[in-house]
């Protein structure tokens, strides 16, 4: 009998032994890219649409959504997000759009590496990746949409 088979035969205590032999159960990925619990490095997601640039928000205008704290530059932006978060939240939870598409992996992003395409916000890892992503935006979006269901948090967005 293998060690794993023996562990299963031992019942509840064996499950603990099996976990010790196999390692911890995989942890599902986060729904949102956040550092220290703050989504998208504190950037105000509404400002991309209203000001056309990355604006760092303030904890004064914070809102909890999808397990992260989102910062906004104003109460009006916070309230707009609260009313329709999917209209403003970055795609793929704010993880790097190119990495979700090309590597099926979750990578961090920088607030200054962004684009709005067909009314949706996409963020990327850095300038080089943003340039690479820009070479085939429709293709990368299609690939990322397919991959997100498997690697993301069920396609939340």
What averages of pLDDT result for each successive group of 10 residues across the chain (157 residues)? 36 38 44 93 98 98 96 98 98 96 95 98 97 98 94 55
Residue 29, pLDDT score: 55
Measured CA angle at 24 (ends 156, 30), to 5 deg: 15
Q: Which domain holds residue 129?
A: 34-151
Q: Is residue 12 domain-resident? A: no
Q: Is residue 156 domain-resident? A: no
Q: Is residue 1 domain-resident? A: no
Residue 30, pLDDT score: 67
Q: What is the pTM of this model?
A: 0.79
Q: How many domains does the chain have?
A: 1
Please answer whether residues 112 and 53 qualify as being in contact, where contact means their C-beta atoms are separated by less than 8 angstroms. no
Based on the number of CB atoms within 10 Å of its own CB, is 53 exposed (0-12), middle (13-18) or buried (19 or more)? exposed
Residue 149, pLDDT score: 87
Residue 20, pLDDT score: 41
CA gap 91, 115 in Å, rounded: 11
Please answer whether residues 2 and 125 qualify as being in contact, where contact means their C-beta atoms are separated by less than 8 angstroms. no
Q: Is residue 125 domain-resident? A: yes
Q: Is residue 28 domain-resident? A: no
């Amino acid at each position: 009998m293998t060690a794993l088979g023996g562990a299963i035969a031992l019942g509840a205590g064996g499950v603990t032994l099996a976990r010790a032999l196999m390692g911890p159960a995989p942890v599902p990925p986060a729904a949102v890219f956040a550092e220290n619990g703050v989504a998208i490095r504190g950037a105000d997601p509404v400002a991309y649409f209203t000001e056309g640039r990355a604006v760092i928000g303030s904890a004064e205008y914070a809102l909890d959504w999808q397990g992260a704290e989102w910062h906004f530059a104003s109460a009006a932006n916070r309230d707009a997000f609260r009313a329709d978060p999917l209209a403003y939240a970055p795609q793929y939870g704010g993880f790097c759009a190119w990495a979700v598409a090309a590597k099926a992996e979750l990578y961090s992003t920088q607030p200054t590496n962004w684009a709005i395409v067909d009314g949706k916000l996409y963020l990327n890892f850095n300038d080089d990746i943003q340039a690479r992503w820009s070479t085939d935006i429709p293709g990368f979006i299609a690939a990322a949409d397919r991959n997100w269901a498997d690697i993301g948090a069920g396609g939340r967005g």
